[in-house]
Amino acid sequence: MKTGELSGLASHIPWLTTEHGGSRIVLSSRVRLSRNLAGYPFRPTPEADAYSAALAMVSAKVRRVLREREITPRVLKSGGMEGTLRRFLSDRGFAGSRAPQEILFDEQEHVAFLIGGTDHLRITATRPGHLLTRAYEDARRWDSALEGSLPFAVAMDFGYLATRIAEAGTAMRASLLLHLPALSEYDQVATLSETAPRAGVRLVGVGNPHAALFLVQNEQSIGMDEKTILSKLEESTDSLISYEREARADWLSSGDQSLVHRVEHALASLRRTDPKDEDEAMRLINDVRVGVLCGLAKGVSLETLNVLFFLAQESHIYVECNGETEGENDIKMARGSLLAKVLK
Amino acid sequence: MTVQVYQTRGAEYHELWLCGHCADAIGVDASNAEPAPTAGELLSGLVHRPLRSCPECGTTFRQIRRTGMVGCAECYRAFRARIIPLIRSATGRVSHTGRLPERLESFKRIFVDREHYRQELDEAIETEDYERAALLRDKINQISGTDGENG
């Protein structure tokens, strides 16, 4: 895959809009269903024919159901993909530890079909804001549309047979992307991450740690039905939202003038075109977002800042520049210019 | 002497390796164990031995344990007894209760759920929990009724 194939993708992230349920704490909701075909190897084998046949069948059926719904998918082939591009797809939530061979998704990136990564097929549905049930309904609708023509591997006791045995059962990974700057400021996230498994969920940092972005996701995929998994996740998310709100209220009521200065400094720095490394950029975007949430920064939308968390990452800058960057300094300069342009 | 003890209860599976002394200590009578197979039995393939690798894709159980990943659907069947404890250690539960493809939903409702409720009904009657027994009987009738409508 070449950088040019990603053109247009790097400059906007439709599932981070604040319309339709966009929230001040929950940036997006995502549900992923892993599926494999019965009678075919789940992973490449020395005799790759059967594995390739499985992927070809999945690809053909996915294209057909998209065509039936008059959706012309954007298609990315990840063959020969280099490190930064692989990271771009991973940062975007399109790839896990094993990059898929092919990705098909709709214009709004509400649904993505990842073919040939860890599993034969991963259906990923994403919605902006706190819309987990909607994301699940989307994923389930596509799953139902495909199950009639694809022999998904299933057993009564193990449920859907995922490649990773810990993901068998519903083979569902549901997650919400949260911005938790106040809990991060008060060093509370580590404690919450340790206690989260008791509620059957996992809280993990995502992307650059200075962005204070976290994923809360289900820990178990077997032994509970989909609705119970989603409801436990919603319950934990509600608790996290309430902890974050309390921490923000404390932060603001402390009358700490340094917060006001931090926000002013961050906005001014971001509007200057000087080169910035990723850590610095994420810290500044985080500070400005806190400022907007606390009413300390005007004239910047939450949507813009949500998107900048992604666009200021090295992988996105690289793609935005069509791969025409030569080294770290070029990336820093491009990042500084991009941030200044967007926040002008 | 080493004694291998398997215990299966419902979906639960336990496997223990004990030395002769420990086996005696917990009351396992090794003399009741299956006799060692003869060379003739081994050669004729009459004796069931734990599979070393999946007959379909060749993945070994050691690979599954190391990577947490299977090679194909058949691995789940071939190594079922040994995969259950792995899933339990990772998730705490092993029995699927979520949705299934439409083609299997009615099969599950009629053959698996009804049988499950019947077992629970027997238990409820045995423990004289008649309120629960009535609820379970309603569920069984409901499934049977749906079955009849479909049939």
Helices A278-293 and A257-271 cross at an angle (nearest 10°) of: 120
Across chain A, what does the average pLDDT equal? 87
Query: Is the separation of the CB atoms in A314 and A323 below 8 Å?
Result: no
Q: In this prediction, does ipTM exceed 0.90?
A: no
The model's confidence at residue B11, banded by pLDDT at 50, 70 and 90, is very low
* CB pair distance less than 8 Å for A165 and B73: no
Query: Is the separation of the CB atoms in A97 and A114 below 8 Å?
Result: no
CB atoms within 10 A of CB A227: 12
- Sign, CA dihedral A189-A190-A193-A194, equals negative
Q: What is the pLDDT of residues A283-312, one digit of tens each?
A: 999 999 999 988 888 888 888 898 899 889
pLDDT at B150 over 50: no
Which residues, in sequence order, are bridge partners of residue A204? Answer: A215
Chain B residues in contact with A43 by the CB 8 A cut-off are 69, 71
pLDDT at A173 over 70: yes
pLDDT at A337 over 70: yes
Q: What is the pLDDT of residues B89-117, one digit of tens each?
A: 776 777 888 999 988 877 777 766 777 78
Q: What is the pLDDT of residues A64-89, one digit of tens each?
A: 999 999 999 988 887 656 677 677 77
Interface of B with A (CB under 8 A): 11, 56-57, 64, 68-73, 76-77, 83, 86-87, 90-104, 108, 112
**The pLDDT of residue B38:** 55
Average pLDDT on A9-20 reads 63
pLDDT at A267 over 80: yes
Chain A residues in contact with B113 by the CB 8 A cut-off are none
The model's confidence at residue A107, banded by pLDDT at 50, 70 and 90, is confident
Q: How far is A68 from A294, CA to CA, in rounded Å?
A: 47
Q: Which of A222, A230, A231 should be substituted to probe chain B, the one whose Cβ sees the most B Cβ atoms within 10 Å?
A: A222
* CB pair distance less than 8 Å for A147 and B108: no
Residue B49 to chain A, least CA–CA distance (Å): 23
φ and ψ at A292, to 5 degrees?
A: -65, -45
Q: How far is B55 from B78, CA to CA, in rounded Å?
A: 8
**The pLDDT of residue B151:** 35
pLDDT at B77 over 80: yes
Three-state SS string over chain B comes to CEEEEEEEECCEEEEEEEEHHHHHHCCCCHHHCCCCCCHHHHHHCCCCCCCCECCCCCCEHHHHHHHCECCCHHHHHHCHHHHHHHHHHHHCCCCCCCCCCHHHHHHHHHHHHHHHHHHHHHHHHHCCCHHHHHHHHHHHHHHHHHHHHHC
Of residues A307 and A142, more confidence is placed in A142
- Sign, CA dihedral A86-A87-A92-A96, equals positive
- Residue A105 near chain B (CB below 8 Å): no
pLDDT at A9 over 90: no
**The pLDDT of residue B32:** 45
- Sign, CA dihedral A333-A334-A337-A339, equals negative
Count CB pairs under 8 A between chains A and B.
Answer: 108
From the list B70, B83, B94, the residue facing A163 with the nearest CB is B70
Longest Cα–Cα distance of chain A, Å, equals 67
Q: How far is A130 from A143, CA to CA, in rounded Å?
A: 22
Report the percentage of chain B scoring pLDDT > 70: 58
pLDDT at B7 over 60: no
Local structure of residue A164 (DSSP, 8 states): B
Across chain B, what does the average pLDDT equal? 73
Query: Is the separation of the CB atoms in A180 and A244 below 8 Å?
Result: yes
Average pLDDT on B66-89 reads 92
Q: How far is A132 from A140, CA to CA, in rounded Å?
A: 12
Q: What is the pLDDT of residues A29-64, one digit of tens each?
A: 999 999 999 999 998 877 768 999 999 999 999 999
pLDDT at A14 over 80: no
Q: What is the pLDDT of residues B24-64, one digit of tens each?
A: 655 555 554 444 555 554 454 445 556 789 999 999 999 99
From the list A165, A224, A225, the residue facing B87 with the nearest CB is A165
Chain A residues in contact with B112 by the CB 8 A cut-off are 156
Q: What is the pLDDT of residues A192-220, one digit of tens each?
A: 999 998 888 999 998 889 999 999 999 88
Chain B residues in contact with A159 by the CB 8 A cut-off are 96, 98, 100
Of residues B120 and A5, more confidence is placed in B120
Average pLDDT on A252-269 reads 86
pLDDT at A175 over 50: yes
pLDDT at A273 over 60: yes
